[in-house]
Structure 1
């Protein structure tokens, strides 16, 4: 990778930490995980969102679900986001960074994930969690015992590397962090020399900086533009093939109503399974199986259109199944986007200006309704990305409000032009009557 590109990547990593540095006020530690084999995708958390221990447990469960693993746990006495923003060479100056080996490892790893704000609940929580997931006890490793270490890759291994943090006895925190970074580089080079696949985690026993929470008055003071703010955003639903994202879907609300129940059910509050989903270069099917006996299937296809000289994907249909009955909704021509984009629409419904039309005239199934709020989907062109591509929105550019503004502006412009034209057509008399001089006589002819 070229030097300027590497510097931009490093600046982005530490800038990412800087973005979250002022976003929360509870005790938290950052966690960085990278692997030489591969990791499941992790959606980028919203600004200020703190990853809970349950979320970390769920992610590590999916990461260590199959096969034996060799895990390297670099556990520093103290660590906070501010350590990266202060000593990490935020402006891309790699000579000024105290984490050069860590940056190189993230850059050369097969996959990596960054948790800028992980909920801190105790000094041994991450170590205990890894022991439970791997089923092995940790082996303490240092620079002296590293060269004599023998690793059996047929079983899981948990190698613990303790790293110090700066105290009053040290010259500076930057020198201590730089020394820890050298230890990380030595361990990773040893694993590379022995050709041992590994998963590495770098975090802290406790935060090095804790910002005290500011107490807020119980009564609101002054005006408030936002009455309520959501502290977190749920991740999108992803279907992976060989560990890489293939289909992504997100919706604020997925409401269905069938004739059997006669009431709306919001499926977005449930976690579905994607069993039965499939995707390739031309067709993609996302199947969402819910515990409440509902199943939603999104059928998408990709085609090349010579007129536009590019590939487009369309949401051909959505199938709703409930207790052995099913109804297919045909997608309108507006449910389309370039193949490398995602599709977004604020409202996709089967009623009231429907974009989904029921493919049945049966009286019972015609009472089934589907409503998707703030809906976004992408079935092609993800290319191992864990976030949506640029969204093509279903709403037209010239909305009724824009048309009203254009027409009003045109009318005012015509009035202005007419007024200027009238002013330019005004003329004056050739001669004027002077009261001090002789009067002007106008001869009359009969």
Structure 2
């Protein structure tokens, strides 16, 4: 009986060990599967990068099929290309771009004669040297501009063909010229038409640089992929909490208008949205690159005109000397919005001003709630039009250079609602304290006490 019981115990122990070992093997296999799953999902976000120059570039071996160029490899190549001397870099930064755009709409990777990238192909073929990276690891919308800014030591200047034709470039130092290009949104025009128009802009800019006889290096890439092809549905971004510092928004370069090579008007806005009927969806114009045709500036007035495909925004500013403060001040006099042949005019009559050597900044500039812009005309067709500028900053006079604003005069007053609430609460608590001290100081001691050793106080009783 003892032997039989002992043998049964050993057998169950061996079975338990085998079961545990099998569970561990399955667990390790599941972990390995998850690791491969996540790794495959993380490697799908890529953007192509095309680089060409009318000067000699360092050699770069052609990547193998399926190879994804890492950020570190690109950083090493840019270090060897821009390591010494001054360089002028044209960065054509499209909102979205993927290798599929070339294969579908013709161009570098296709053989179509009517492709949307004819000027780009001609520039690559006629350049002294060129580098094509079909798959560059995408690590954020600000990765390429930030990397070029670090290597060149120059801040990006937002420009277009019209502004570049009047801009005088200082070739003794490095220049980083940023040309933003839109991408198709599925509204009104097709992707091929948008890409063909972008290719036309590239051709105009390259023609201007050739006419100026300035050596340059051009880069064409995207802010983010237009198509992320993934065989798995797991998102590439980690799920869960993350520090706010690791998810900082990209900083866009300001819009700069220059006259005779000298910058005179600068505008920066995070979101520039318009709406033409109450309750309709907002149209964000900040993602597009406007033409600055019609803008002008002098010592007393400045006009910045933003020309979009169907919308025109105009900012009129002026400066005057005020004897009371003994200094010059500039004001944003009006903002005009033109759409479909109609014009709405808004007056900046509620505090849009600053010293002439400062810039003006406001977190929110609207025409409908706590409005800083007041509708001037009474046209019924434009009565429902609305403007909404988020994180708005503008300067029209006394610009020191074309890359930085002067000290900003903010629209927020010192005594905000929170400060007033704190002051009133503190005053109320102080009044309560003073009232309590006053009550304590009014207390008086008794002028007669009962002595236990002496005769007691007798109170006669009457019947």
TM-score (norm 2): 0.51
Q: CA deviation at 1:399?
A: 1.6
Q: CA deviation at 1:379?
A: 0.5
Residues of 1 paired with 2:362 and 2:305: CA distance?
20
2:145 corresponds to which of 51, 72, 75: 51
Q: 1:422 to 1:60 in 2, by over 3 A?
A: closer
User: Is this contact kept in 2: 1:348–1:372, CA < 8 A?
Assistant: yes
Residues of 1 paired with 2:238 and 2:167: CA distance?
55
1:300 corresponds to which of 317, 322, 336: 317
Name the SS for the 2:251 alignment partner: coil
Q: CA deviation at 1:428?
A: 2.3
Tell me the equivalent position of 1:236.
254
2:292 corresponds to which of 255, 268, 274: 274
Q: For structure 1, which segment, 326-335 or 279-288, has the greater mean C-alpha deviation from structure 2 after superposition?
A: 326-335
Name the SS for the 2:406 alignment partner: coil
Show the 5 A alignment for 1:21-420: 26-27=72-73, 28=75, 29=78, 31=82, 49-51=143-145, 219-220=238-239, 223-224=241-242, 226=244, 229-258=247-276, 263-291=281-309, 293-420=310-437
User: Is this contact kept in 2: 1:341–1:389, CA < 8 A?
Assistant: yes
Task: Note the alpha carbon deviations across 1:234-257, whole angstroms, 9 max, x for none.
Answer: 111111123222111111111112
Gap runs ≥5 in structure 1: 1-23, 41-45, 72-108, 116-131, 136-153, 159-198, 201-215
- What RMSD, in angstroms, separates the aligned Cα atoms of the two structures? 4.8
Task: Note the alpha carbon deviations across 1:174-202, whole angstroms, 9 max, x for none.
Answer: xxxxxxxxxxxxxxxxxxxxxxxxx99xx
User: Is this contact kept in 1: 2:158–2:255, CA < 8 A?
Assistant: no
Q: CA deviation at 1:431?
A: 5.2
Residues of 2 paired with 1:157 and 1:246: CA distance?
23
Compare the two structures and name the one with the higher helix fraction.
Answer: 2
Q: CA deviation at 1:155?
A: 10
Name the SS for the 1:351 alignment partner: coil
Q: 1:340 to 1:49 in 2, by over 3 A?
A: farther
Q: CA deviation at 1:321?
A: 1.2
Q: 1:217 to 1:421 in 2, by over 3 A?
A: farther
Q: 1:34 to 1:259 in 2, by over 3 A?
A: farther
Task: Note the alpha carbon deviations across 1:302-328, whole angstroms, 9 max, x for none.
Answer: 011111111111000011112332221
Residues of 1 paired with 2:394 and 2:168: CA distance?
35
Name the SS for the 1:298 alignment partner: strand
User: Is this contact kept in 2: 1:316–1:330, CA < 8 A?
Assistant: yes
Residues of 2 paired with 1:425 and 1:370: CA distance?
62
Residues of 2 paired with 1:418 and 1:260: CA distance?
54
Q: CA deviation at 1:230?
A: 4.1
Task: Note the alpha carbon deviations across 1:57-106, whole angstroms, 9 max, x for none.
Answer: 998998997999997xxxxxxxxxxxxxxxxxxxxxxxxxxxxxxxxxxx
Name the SS for the 1:370 alignment partner: strand
Task: Note the alpha carbon deviations across 1:209-256, whole angstroms, 9 max, x for none.
Answer: xxxxxxx996546x5453982452111111112322211111111111
Residues of 2 paired with 1:353 and 1:112: CA distance?
44
User: Is this contact kept in 2: 1:433–1:439, CA < 8 A?
Assistant: no
Q: CA deviation at 1:301?
A: 0.3
Q: 1:34 to 1:232 in 2, by over 3 A?
A: farther
Q: CA deviation at 1:414?
A: 0.5
Q: 1:33 to 1:51 in 2, by over 3 A?
A: farther
Residues of 2 paired with 1:67 and 1:306: CA distance?
36
User: Is this contact kept in 2: 1:33–1:112, CA < 8 A?
Assistant: no
Residues of 2 paired with 1:342 and 1:113: CA distance?
24
Residues of 2 paired with 1:261 and 1:421: CA distance?
58
Residues of 2 paired with 1:383 and 1:289: CA distance?
26
Q: CA deviation at 1:282?
A: 0.8
Q: CA deviation at 1:384?
A: 2.0
> Larger Cα Rg: Structure 1 or Structure 2?
2
Q: 1:342 to 1:34 in 2, by over 3 A?
A: farther
